[in-house]
Structure 1
Amino acid sequence: MKKIYLDHAATTPVDPEVIKAMLPYFSSKFGNASSVYSFGQEARAAVDSARHKIARFLNCKSTEIVFTSGGSESDNLAIKGVIDASEIKKPHVITSAFEHHAVLDTIKELERDGRIQATYIKPNRDGVIKVADIERVIRKNTVLVSIMYVNNEIGTVQPIREIGKMIERANTRRIMNHELGIMNKTHNSELKLHNSEKNAGRIFFHTDAVQAAEYFDMNVDYLHVDLLTMTAHKIYGPKGIGLLYIRSGVPIKHQIVGGGQEYKKRAGTENVAGIVGMAKAIEIIQNPKSEYRNPKQKESNPKHEIRKLREKLINGLLKIPNSRLNGSREYRSPSNVNISFMNAEGESILLNLDMEGIAASTGSACTSGSLEPSHVLLSMGRTPEECHGSVRFTLGHETTEEEIDKVLEVLPLIIEKLRRMSPFK
């Protein structure tokens, strides 16, 4: 039986070109990048080259990139790093109610410890955050806004650029008011604030872009973000390597103490092979002619090809009675399909799909063992019953139309069987 993998939002297979690029750094080029002799300098050159390539992708300085072990660590460094560096007592943080747990649980932990105040913005029923809802809750002591770029469960795309521009306007007003206040006190009409003084009253904007890198603009200046999280294993790179973009001037307190690696923001021996692999994966997603894509995706824009397959899957699944698409169809990742089937349990659907050789999920891979209803769907106003009947399919480079046809052939039969067995009619 041929296996079909439709859980690319959980992780992706490593592209053969990425493996090829990484292999020398496990054997002949194994040096520690912090060492001064030739083995170490060879590794250092590889890290520097990869950093420059990734900086071009993000349109930032190479010194603004900090390599980490993955998305969760990057989110923790962004949030805890800003809070630890803040001079404000019990600062205010704004986030959404349907963030990835790496963001949500970090903020909730800081809130429980009495270190911050937090506001959780609910999305609309289409799973999209409104800019005005964020602007409405900004306070004088707000220091951080963290909103994900693309939701990992339902694939909805958030208005990151518009949020960033709104925060910039709020920061401009803060600086002007601060300058005006000092001028009134000192009677100095030509006052110039130092960067540190400007940063003291700023709101910093972080986005978890883990699910966005392959399909959406990652230019940090275009997005107007101060901090951006990314990981390699969602884009056909290796697990165990990620990054945090930190705009120059943003104060961040390191969370891991040790050596002086990563500009003293993240201690630990560099994962040279992983860093090289991440840079190669980024290079490949910018080149749709990669050998790893299926032939149709190589011939045209892969984003458009995957969207066509997604639409075929959505249209077919919605023909199943009492099914409902979760999240906006318009503002959505081209690879994501999340649908709820009433009177059918999501876990049972997955087990039956797995017996047919089809891999899918009920939501975030990080919490797939949980029996709690999805916090993402609950935040959108879905009922617990709708949450428990949800299934997520996420398509990838190698997904074919034949695989989509197979899902549409077997899933209606699975749902029919489970509904016959269900005590809820």
Structure 2
Amino acid sequence: MKKIYLDYAATTPVDPRVLRAMRPYFSDVFGNPSSLHSFGQQALTALDTSREAIAKAIGVDFREVIFTGSATEANNLALRGVVRESIRYQVSSIKEDKKPRIIISAIEHESVRETARDLEREGVEIVEIPVDWQGFVDLKKLEAALNEQTVLVSIIYANNEIGTVQPISKIAKILSNFKKGISNSQFSISKKKLIGNPQFLNPSGHTLYPIFHTDAAQAFQFLPCNPSELGVDLMTISAHKIYGPKGVGALYVSDKRQETRNKGQETSNKGQATSGENFLSLVTGRLSPIITGGGQEFGLRSGTENVSFIVGFSKAVQIAASARDRECARILKIRDYFWRKLKEIVPQAELNGSIKGQGSSIKEEGKGTSFLPNILNVYFPEMSAEYLITKLDFLGVAVSSGSACHTRAAQPSHVLTALGFSKEKAGQCVRFSFGRPTKKIHIDAALKKIKTALL
């Protein structure tokens, strides 16, 4: 049997259908989307169509989808862009006693965590909210951390190491109530200036701050990702987590003014990627670009668009959205089967994050789920994760110890230590993650290899 890949939370192979969709744009349709000639217009059409397809899949307007080079870049744009814009419009100031505050959870992806730390070195106040033993954010402490200088709250939708799914809509409600209860005078902006800069107010008349961002890169494959239903202003998604190409991601950037437009208004953007209404003017007070230049992506992310990868991203999004419920149910059965059989081999093994000792079904919470169906993070007592991962790789099974973005670091997983694990215990945990190609035959073969590795 071929090598068995059980690390789909790290990355996924490109779906053959995605690859077929991409191929023409590597050589045949190669024009620059900003060019006015026919070659450029062909590329622009592909870009427009892809943007519209992704927007439709998540239930937003096409202008609210901003393409980036990765989910990491999208997260950087969210955090740095909000801080820069808040300072630019005097909502906050590094030099004065109204430093911008960002609230994150203790188990954010490294691209959010390290960006926040970098901003902290620049004078931004960072507040990290603890999680419980299952990885759920302490909502009371999050609510207590909100103050008049909070410009952004960034909470990961589904954790990439332990699979915990945060109650994003509940957090959005907390932020909404907070906004309703504060005065716009917090920003030291006169009423006259507010009238002249309505971007600081949403259609309900409440302040836009704090802005709510979620990293949905790991969630998109299995969870509904409609920003309006979740209540988020910014949302990150990634192609390579959903069987698309590496090197492309997107940031949803809410245009609250869309809420006040007529539902029947035409939203097609044919030929408007570099002309027409300036989207940046609609989100002033919300986000500043961190890469400047030619003004692509409605002024929020300059640089010639990677059309072939964007086309592939769009195809991957459409496939993932259409197969979501079916694949979620299938993978859940695979996950439960694996866990039952693993417990027979290693009775002392424990699940991290999810319901310890059970793992039989994902806990329902309203319309959402509390844990992703494809991730199992397992504690193997008295067994080094590094040894087990290396041994399994030798035997032909690929697994990991945590985030692929931070795996080579000597430090233990910050996610596991946030759950209360000691460094030693965190170093004895292995993540198994399943994907579309995973079948029962692969699980049975992997379990035999695990049994051999533990002998």
| TM-score normalized by the length of structure 2 | 0.84
Give 3-state SS (helix, strand or coil) of 1:25's partner: helix
The alpha-carbon deviation at position 130 of structure 1 amounts to 3.0
Number of residue pairs the alignment of both structures matches:
398
The superposition leaves residues 75-124 of structure 1 with CA deviations (integer Å, 9 ceiling, x where unpaired) of 0000000001112022111001111110000001111222x111101110
Please give the alpha-carbon distance, in whole angstroms, between the structure 2 residues aligned to 1:313 and 1:133. 36
Runs of 5+ unmatched residues, structure 2 = 94-98, 256-282, 356-362, 364-369
Out of 342, 356, 364, which is 1:317 matched to? 342
- Post-superposition shift, 1:133? 2.2
1:195 Cα shift? 2.5
TM-superposed deviation, 1:315? 2.1
Tell me the equivalent position of 1:292.
Answer: none
Query: What corresponds to 1:195 in structure 2?
Result: 198
One of 124, 145, 158 as aligned partner of 1:150: 158
Percentage identity across aligned positions?
41
Separation in structure 2 between the aligned mates of residue 356 and residue 13 of structure 1, nearest angstrom: 21
Specify which of 241, 252, 260 is matched with residue 245 of structure 1. Answer: 252
Separation in 2, partners of 1:166, 1:328 = 25
Helix, strand or coil at the partner of 1:286: helix
Partners of 1:56 and 1:234 lie apart in 2 by 19
Which of 412, 417, 422 is the aligned partner of 1:378? 417
Give 1:327's aligned residue: 353
Partner of 2:360: none
Q: How does 1:224-263 map to 2 (within 5 A)?
A: 224-248=231-255, 249=283, 251-263=286-298
d(CA) in 2 for partners of 1:165, 1:195: 23
Q: Tell me, which stretches of 5 or more residues in structure 1 are unaligned?
A: 290-299, 418-425
In the alignment, what sits opposite 1:396?
A: 435
- The equivalent of 1:423 in structure 2 is none
| CA distance in structure 1 between the aligned counterparts of 2:425 and 2:441, rounded to whole angstroms | 29
Contact 1:66 1:244 in 2 (8 A): yes
Alignment of 1:11-160 (within 5 A): 11-86=11-86, 87=90, 88-89=92-93, 90-114=99-123, 116-160=124-168
How far apart, in 1, do the equivalents of 2:253 and 2:234 lie? Answer: 5
Moved over 4 A (4+): 175-179, 191-194
Q: Which residue of 319, 322, 327 maps to 1:287?
A: 322
Report matched runs for 1:328-347 at 5 Å. 328-329=354-355, 330=363, 331-347=370-386
The corresponding residue for 2:268 is none
**What's the secondary structure of 1:67's corresponding residue?**
strand
CA contact (8 A) 1:131 1:159 kept: no
| Contact persistence 1:174–1:201 (CA under 8 A) | no
Contact (CA 8 Å) 2:211, 2:286: kept in 1 or not? Answer: no
Counterpart for residue 10 of structure 1: 10
Q: Check the 8 A contact 1:342/1:385 in 2, yes or no.
A: no
Could you say what secondary structure the match of 1:19 adopts?
A: helix
The aligned residue for residue 271 of structure 1 is 306
TM-score normalised over the length of structure 1: 0.89
Cα offset for 1:233? Answer: 0.4
Over residues 366-399 of structure 1, what are the superposed CA-to-partner deviations in whole Å (9 max), with x where a residue is unaligned? Answer: 1111221110000010122221011111100010
SS at match of 2:214: strand
User: What is the letter of the counterpart of residue 411 of structure 1?
Assistant: I
Give CA-to-partner distance per residue, 1:309-366, whole Å, 9 cap, x none: 1011122223414321001243210100110111111111111111121111000001
